[in-house]
Structure 1
Amino acid sequence: MSNSIGIVLDKRRIKTNEKYPLKLRVRLDGNEVEMYSTIYDLSEEDYNKLSAPRISDSLKEIKQRIKEIETDSRKFISDYGDITFQEFERDFIKDNPHFKKRRTTTRPEASEEEEDWLNPYRKRFKILKEPHPGTDYISYTFQKYIKQLLAEGRIGSALNYQDAYYSLKRFRGNVQFETITVSYLHQYERMMIDIKGRSKTTVGIKLRSLRSVFNEAIEDKIIKGDKCYPFGKRKYKIPTSRNIKKALDISEVQSIYEFKPENEFDRKARDYWLFSYLCNGLNPKDFAYLKYRNIDEDYIIFTRAKTERETRNDPKLITAYITEDMHRIINEWGNKDRNPNSYIFPVLVPGEDLLKQHMRVCSLAKFICDGMKNVVKALGIKKKAGNAECRHTTATTLKRSGATTEFIQEILGHHNKNTTENYLDSFENDVKKQFAKKLTQFK
């Protein structure tokens, strides 16, 4: 078989802006030819400049992109073997961000068994429809790993991996693992921070997902780690940035506690926030999943959903004393059906699938944040008082009251003490300031 591939300027039909489309010209088996329109258009003058030693930055970018298109398409056809245009369009051109949409062959349907269990997720997880030019393209392992997360019921993690994939796809497309070099990652980081205005924390989340996908591909023998793994010592280091939450001081908590919201929305959100604060800094997911069976006389005993998998063989139970205020909040806002299997609060609906449960938890978190914005604004408090600040405030208040790190680790449900110590670091500066003043208290 004799195949040839190249980018050409199709001058058969000029556009209104006096530009022509750049197309990928593919010849298969020595005689058949097809043209595929890329997303790039150039004037004849600019097209001729591509081979010049000095060109503008915008032309350099297009030159690099079309070079990548040619390289990727050649490798794809070579790896595929005996390929037809129909197969090339279906598996390489379709949904490739560098090409304009065109009518292509429908991808084979999934098996009935796969179709059944994935059906509830298809609308929310568009990655399940992603085509794969080859198994060594990132879409293949991202999709495979996301299916695994969905099968395990880890909806939040699956959404994070999907977000990471589409962030990378918007940057350079669905590329092969070997394309992702140290330089690629540095360019992605600069694009996210300098152009998109994203934080280092966001970049870290996306690239930790990518690193896990690399490890999966190595485990599946799709790639060889020693040849193209870009992470690690003397390679690319994923950025870290501690997102410090401003804990409320006890006087601000008192103001929130004593505040009388005028509407039911803010009153309910404030009470949910107070319950979480009093219940060991409970996060929204654990709040939503609390059932009456978790109540044992004067205590609520539960395990954190976030660490359930890691502690399955040695479950870490969290115990919170039910204060008088917590009893009031349960009586006012809780479900009246106190069957042991009933949820304490009317957030989740029994029998709903995991995706719907996840969305309800997200709605709960937003509900509390929105209500608390109104509360702190009315009180003149300048700090945020969302769900993360609630948990941080619980830990801060206990620390300033003399609680040990070990005690705080236990009530927060941290599996590792280092996590708690890192968590506590951010609110020690004011204490240092107070003690610094004592050094010259004689003044």
Structure 2
Amino acid sequence: MNSPESENLPTKGRTRTNTISFTVELGNKPKKDGHYPLFLRITENRKHRRVYIGFDIPLKDWNPNKKEVRRSYPLHEVINKKIDSIKSDAIRLKADTKNVTSTVIAESLKGRSSAYFFQYAYSYIANKPYNTQRNVRTEINKFLEYVGNKELFFADITVKLLADYESWLRTKKGNTTNTISKGLSKIRTVFNQAIKEGILPVQDNPFLLIRLKEGKPERVRLTEEELKSFQEVALPQGSLLWHTRNYWLCAFYMAGMRFSDISCLQWKNINGNRLSYVMQKTKNTVTQSHTIQLPKQAEEIIQNYRPTKPLPTDYVFPILNPNKIYVTEADILKEISRKNALINKYLKKICFLAGIPKDLSFHSARHTFADLGRKKVKDVYAISKLLRHSKINITEKYLSEFDTDTTDKALESIFG
């Protein structure tokens, strides 16, 4: 049986044309994760063009003689099937197109967006921070649930498919406009990265023709009256409900501290009446310490947890297991996420007991602080620094969503 390469040899009696051959090879350089990209090499008159096949594999899992992925690699069947498919497409293009060149074949194959969307998406998030992995994977899994096909090509994802998917999210999943927009934006991120890496031509991006609709986010916060009810509702001392309220109130008093920072707070972060710590959530490679005066209300709560002789690295609050060793950052973030979900459930129970008809979460402590700060302090810069926002316009947008008092008072003035 002749190999595909044998079809490139000129036959006796035919007019000689440009010789074009195809072979599959690994790239010369590994990517950041150590995997090598797979290419279809198109050779014409000793000049090469390469088309990315859409997969990256470890060097040890490539058989250079058979030009295929070894069985040792989990996705060997899928990738080898893709190799056969793209070679067949290339040979067909060569046979069916008059005076075809390697450039035409390469551009045509690229134009078909022949990479598998889900394989690329999961590969893309593999080396991302844990929270990014979790958020993007959730949306990719949801999209996979809808299409039901792991071997979906980028080219198969059309504007119509995304519109149908949006309808499914709304009717079957009950997602809000804002949730749908955030989910689609994660899929758009995968497309943008594929274009950046040259896997997908920019004109094949369906998101160029889609405008994501963003609903106004509901930032749940407590009013001063509700905050008083939350503080005063009777809870059994030492119970998880009691601890949950303490965590939430401390976060509120400490300028809207995030749950990840509350969880990891250590005694070395508290020096007298000052609190100094490095935020868990940061996009900067160089982390910066944040320091504030510790309000007396927070100090009173913290005293419930202070042992006789605390070690500097001991956790202040009994949220994370002090005896557990977290090998990677992802391990500790996964545990924080699990604890956060549990605490949010108990916050809803506290609200029920306190007669507060709101879907309170731990992040609501941040919203409550921002709203109270807006009402009592007119210095947006000071509030911005306390909230640890990177830019003041973020704070301005954040606070504007709470500012219904101004419009309410205006209407009262007009209509009495």
TM-score by length of 2: 0.68
Is the 2:169–2:175 Cα contact (8 Å) retained in structure 1?
yes
Q: Which residue of 1 aligns with 2:122?
A: 143
Task: Give the 3 Å change call, closer, same or farther, for CA 440–402 of structure 1 in structure 2.
Answer: farther
> 1:109 deviation in Å?
3.5
Per-residue CA distance 1:149-203 (angstroms, 9 max, x = gap): 1xxxx21210122112221212222311111122222121111112322122222
Q: Which residue of 2 aligns with 1:187?
A: 164
Match 1:283 to one of 246, 251, 258: 258
SS at match of 1:318: strand
Per-residue CA distance 1:27-84 (angstroms, 9 max, x = gap): xxxxxxxxxxxxxxxxxxxxxxxxxxxxxxxxxxxxxxxxxxxxxxxxxxxx899xxx
Write the distance in 2 (CA, Å) between the matches of 1:375 and 1:339: 32
Q: Which residue of 2 aligns with 1:301?
A: 276
For the pair 1:431 / 2:395, whether they are aligned, the reply is no
> 1:271 deviation in Å?
0.7
Per-residue CA distance 1:352-404 (angstroms, 9 max, x = gap): 13344223212332333222222222221212332122211110011111332
SS at match of 1:231: helix
Q: Which residue of 2 aligns with 1:344?
A: 316
Pairing 1:317-328 to 2, within 5 Å after superposition:
317-328=289-300
Write the distance in 1 (CA, Å) between the matches of 2:406 and 2:309: 46
Is the 1:155–1:358 Cα contact (8 Å) retained in structure 2?
yes
> 1:318 deviation in Å?
3.1
Is the 2:70–2:76 Cα contact (8 Å) retained in structure 1?
no
Letter of the 1:141 counterpart? Y
Letter of the 2:162 counterpart? L
Write the distance in 2 (CA, Å) between the matches of 1:299 and 1:186: 52
Task: Give the 3 Å change call, closer, same or farther, for CA 167–106 of structure 1 in structure 2.
Answer: farther
Which runs of 5 or more residues in structure 2 are unaligned?
A: 3-39, 43-54, 56-68, 83-113
Pairing 1:120-199 to 2, within 5 Å after superposition:
134=82, 136-149=115-128, 154-172=129-147, 173-174=149-150, 175-199=152-176
Task: Give the 3 Å change call, closer, same or farther, for CA 361–183 of structure 1 in structure 2.
Answer: same
Write the distance in 2 (CA, Å) between the matches of 1:220 and 1:335: 54
Match 2:348 to one of 373, 396, 407: 373
Letter of the 1:229 counterpart? N
Write the distance in 1 (CA, Å) between the matches of 2:231 and 2:380: 26
Match 2:395 to one of 416, 420, 427: 420
> 1:274 deviation in Å?
0.5
Per-residue CA distance 1:252-292 (angstroms, 9 max, x = gap): 21222233313512111111110011011112111112222
Task: Give the 3 Å change call, closer, same or farther, for CA 129–275 of structure 1 in structure 2.
Answer: farther
Letter of the 2:214 counterpart? T
For the pair 1:231 / 2:203, whether they are aligned, the reply is no
Pairing 1:333-412 to 2, within 5 Å after superposition:
333=305, 338-348=310-320, 349=322, 351-353=325-327, 354-412=329-387
For the pair 1:240 / 2:217, whether they are aligned, the reply is no
Match 1:204 to one of 153, 178, 181: 181
Task: Give the 3 Å change call, closer, same or farther, for CA 162–363 of structure 1 in structure 2.
Answer: closer
**Greater than 4 Å deviation, 4+ residue runs:** 128-135, 334-337
Task: Give the 3 Å change call, closer, same or farther, for CA 129–318 of structure 1 in structure 2.
Answer: farther
Q: Which residue of 2 aligns with 1:252?
A: 226
Per-residue CA distance 1:108-133 (angstroms, 9 max, x = gap): 347xxxxxxxxxxxxxxxxx999556
Write the distance in 1 (CA, Å) between the matches of 2:173 and 2:341: 24
Write the distance in 2 (CA, Å) between the matches of 1:239 and 1:340: 48
Task: Give the 3 Å change call, closer, same or farther, for CA 320–367 of structure 1 in structure 2.
Answer: farther
Which runs of 5 or more residues in structure 1 are unaligned?
A: 3-78, 82-90, 92-104, 111-127
Write the distance in 2 (CA, Å) between the matches of 1:302 and 1:436: 44
Per-residue CA distance 1:185-243 (angstroms, 9 max, x = gap): 21211111123221222222222221221122122221222x311223xx112231222
Task: Give the 3 Å change call, closer, same or farther, for CA 160–440 of structure 1 in structure 2.
Answer: closer
Letter of the 2:154 counterpart? F
Is the 1:141–1:216 Cα contact (8 Å) retained in structure 2?
no
TM-score by length of 1: 0.64
Task: Give the 3 Å change call, closer, same or farther, for CA 131–196 of structure 1 in structure 2.
Answer: farther
Q: Which residue of 2 aligns with 1:108?
A: 72
Q: Which residue of 2 aligns with 1:27?
A: none
Write the distance in 2 (CA, Å) between the matches of 1:402 and 1:237: 37
Letter of the 1:194 counterpart? T
Is the 2:259–2:363 Cα contact (8 Å) retained in structure 1?
no
Aligned residue pair count: 318
CA RMSD, 1 decimal:
3.1
Is the 1:319–1:411 Cα contact (8 Å) retained in structure 2?
no
Is the 1:333–1:345 Cα contact (8 Å) retained in structure 2?
yes
Is the 1:376–1:385 Cα contact (8 Å) retained in structure 2?
yes
Is the 1:335–1:345 Cα contact (8 Å) retained in structure 2?
no
SS at match of 2:127: helix
Letter of the 1:179 counterpart? D
Write the distance in 2 (CA, Å) between the matches of 1:266 and 1:326: 18
